[in-house]
Amino acid sequence: MVLCMALISIIVLAATMGRNASDAKMNERNNQYTANLFAAEAAVEKVIARMKFDFLCGNDEYVTNNLSIYRAYIPTAAEDPYWGRFEFSDAQGHVNSTYVQSISAKGFGGLQSQYAGLSGWTNVYRILSNARQTSGYFNLTNAVQEDIELDSIPVFQFAIFYNGLLEFTWAAPFTVNGRTHANGSIFVGSASDLTFNSTVTTTQVILKTNWDGKVLSQYTGAINYLGTPGYSTNAQVLQLPIGTNNSPGAVREIINMPPTGEDPSSALGLQRYYNKAEVVMLVSNTTVTVTLRTSISDGSPTVIQATYFPTNSSLTNYTQVLTNFPFLALTNTFTDQRGNKTIKTTEIDVKVYKDWLATNLSVTTKFLAGTGLLPNVLYVADNRTNTSTQLTAVRLKNGSVIPTNSAPSGAATGFTLATPNPLYIFGNYNCPDGSALGTTNTSKTFPASLISDALTLLSGNWLDSASSNSFTSRDAQDTTVNAAVLTGIVYSTGPATNQFSGGVMNLPRLLEDWGSNSRKLTLNTSIVNFFSSVRATNVFVNPGYYYYAPSRKFSFDLNFMNDAKLPPATPQLGVIFRAKWRVPPPGITTYAGQ
């Protein structure tokens, strides 16, 4: 009996020891599996971090050009001795390598997640790593695979986009039909209703607060969020691919002339309108230089230069010596009562400029002969000197029909005007045949955008000679502008009156009496504010000082949801989505399909 009991005890002990050994092996295997998995994920995340930096600070091309760099990215013992325990590979037999490959053709289509309803250019990349502990008890290899989507969103797909605080405070009844986004907070509240028919996103919060001399008890109007979802706070920042700094001051550089020596293919250089333009006009005290840029085989720009000489000591008086530019006038001046300045204009007759593009041999031999299309981006900088009471600006007149090309598909290329100066639009703009006057029907308009330091809209009744008179003698007439707007504002500095930007409804500045006779201002547009105005810097003052407000008919131009109908040189915002995360078998790069 003793021997039997001893034998049973030995058997139980052996079984227990065997079970413990098996459990230890299972625990070791599990620990090794988990360590491998986390190591592989670390390799994937290292690549994603670098790709995100390159994409958001540059663009998709920066990512494409750096694929070989990403593939060499693995956690290293130089970063932490812990990583020396692992061997990393790309599931294709290459050690010390990570699999990085585009798995979709770049195309224009609908976006996902919080930006559903918008479209953009998308490209999906797969990042995959296999990891193995080189000194582990088991010969285990584990893998992590993640697909990420790099999206470039045309900024004019937003009805309203602000790179900072966005204010609807004390708006008249206002309905926003497209997407709204702010890289900052959004202030709402008025005695009138505010309705958003599409989703509102903000990187901070949406709130009512005492502002522009108004207090919460006065905000009796309803705020209606009718999108799906209605709104989202703490959203991802949407930024231009110009580098690590996307502050308003940094983003303003896209409308400035580049400094000497800047690489036009740098992240910022690629976003400058100066570099995107096919026609560049520079005005100085003595010369006007127009450069035509084209990508045809000879590669060299054509420079047409006209020289202007002052006829007396006043720099506002010039005599045109050469007649290359029948669309250009430099001698017209008027008073801007908001800025309290005499405005010296580089004035462009859009109709004459349109005809000049189609008939001037310097243009047609350079463009029509090489590309078959006339230029559709014009950059103008008026760099004449000013006194303390003067301001140089660009003014467009006779712009009902803008320069454009009819593409074989039937879509027009449209026209973009960009300037670092304040910009004035005189009369109706982009209203061919009068078909879009006073309506939201933009089926016959062309893609257009107006880019500037500040934007002022002048009705067709405007008279330079009456600009210094009381605004009540400057009666506006109904006016329609069909164009996306990207411009600066004078930012609010506090809650008191005269410390207010004017809000999004006053981003287009006015200088006439629109209210006495219920004049209508129709604006079919996308309203974008990236930066502060640094030339037209006087603060907003409420109606009754230099203007009376019109009946505003502001609407988002739905044409901009179609990539073929976006204005030329539309800036793209970068955003990254994590699409799919998987744990595939080792040695496979096509797990669960493409």
C-alpha angle 350-382-461 in degrees, rounded to nearest 5? 45
CA atoms within 13 A on the CB side of 399: 29
Q: Note the pLDDT tens digit of each residue in 172-225.
A: 999 999 999 999 999 999 999 999 999 999 999 999 999 999 999 999 999 999
Nearest CA among 48, 117, 44 for reference residue 75: 44
Buried b (16+ CB within 10 A) or exposed e, 210-247: ebbebeeeebebebebebeeebbeebbebbbbbbeebe
Peptide bond into 420 cis (omega under 30): no
| Residues 6 or more apart whose Cβ sits within 8 Å of residue 310 | 285, 286, 317, 318
pLDDT at residue 310, rounded to an integer: 54
Lowest mean pLDDT among 140-149, 298-307, 571-580: 298-307
| Mean confidence (pLDDT) of the chain | 91
Does 296 have pLDDT greater than 70? no
Rounded to the nearest 10°, the torsion over CA 571, 575, 580, 583 is 120
Fill in the amino acid letter for 343: I
Q: Once rounded to an integer, what is the mean pLDDT over residues 262-266?
A: 92
Q: Once rounded to an integer, what is the mean pLDDT over residues 142-171?
A: 96
Fill in the amino acid letter for 201: T
Q: Note the pLDDT tens digit of each residue in 72-115.
A: 999 999 999 999 999 999 999 999 999 999 999 889 988 877 78
Per the CB < 8 A criterion, the answer to whether 453 and 507 are in contact is: no
Lowest mean pLDDT among 14-28, 293-307, 548-562, 578-592: 14-28
Q: Note the pLDDT tens digit of each residue in 427-469.
A: 999 998 887 798 988 888 999 999 999 999 999 999 999 999 9
Stated pTM of the model: 0.91
Does 238 have pLDDT greater than 90? yes
Structure tokens at 394: 């660009």
C-alpha angle 264-265-270 in degrees, rounded to nearest 5? 80
* Nearest-angstrom CA–CA distance, 18 and 387: 95
Q: Is 545 helix (H, G, I), strand (E, B) or coil?
A: coil
| Residues 6 or more apart whose Cβ sits within 8 Å of residue 471 | 337, 511, 512, 513, 545, 546, 547, 548
Where do runs of H (alpha helix) occur along 326-387? 350-359, 361-364
Rounded to the nearest 10°, the torsion over CA 261, 267, 273, 275 is 50
**DSSP-assigned beta bridge partners for residue 585:** none
User: Which carries the bigger pLDDT value, residue 557 or residue 311?
Assistant: 557
Does 383 have pLDDT greater than 60? yes
Does 297 have pLDDT greater than 70? no
* Nearest-angstrom CA–CA distance, 341 and 343: 6
Lowest mean pLDDT among 234-238, 351-355, 405-409, 491-495: 405-409
pLDDT at residue 317, rounded to an integer: 45
Q: Within 10 A of 114 (CB to CB), how many other CB atoms are there? A: 16
Q: Once rounded to an integer, what is the mean pLDDT over residues 367-382?
A: 87
* Nearest-angstrom CA–CA distance, 476 and 483: 20
Q: Once rounded to an integer, what is the mean pLDDT over residues 234-249?
A: 91
pLDDT at residue 594, rounded to an integer: 58
Rounded to the nearest 10°, the torsion over CA 17, 18, 24, 30 is -160
CA atoms within 13 A on the CB side of 38: 9
Distance of CA 44 to the CA centre of its chain: 29
Per the CB < 8 A criterion, the answer to whether 91 and 98 are in contact is: no
Per the CB < 8 A criterion, the answer to whether 477 and 460 are in contact is: yes
CA atoms within 13 A on the CB side of 146: 21
Q: Is 253 helix (H, G, I), strand (E, B) or coil?
A: helix
Structure tokens at 520: 């209508």
Does 314 have pLDDT greater than 50? no
Q: Which helix (H) or strand (E) is 40 found in, with range?
A: helix 2-57
Per the CB < 8 A criterion, the answer to whether 276 and 569 are in contact is: yes
Render 450-506 in DSSP notation, one character per residue. Answer: EE-S-EEEE-TT--GGGTTS-GGG-B---EEEESEEEEEE----SSSTTS----GGG
Nearest CA among 400, 357, 397, 351 for reference residue 376: 357
User: Which carries the bigger pLDDT value, residue 522 or residue 365?
Assistant: 522
pLDDT at residue 3, rounded to an integer: 78
Q: Within 10 A of 171 (CB to CB), how many other CB atoms are there? A: 20
pLDDT at residue 1, rounded to an integer: 80
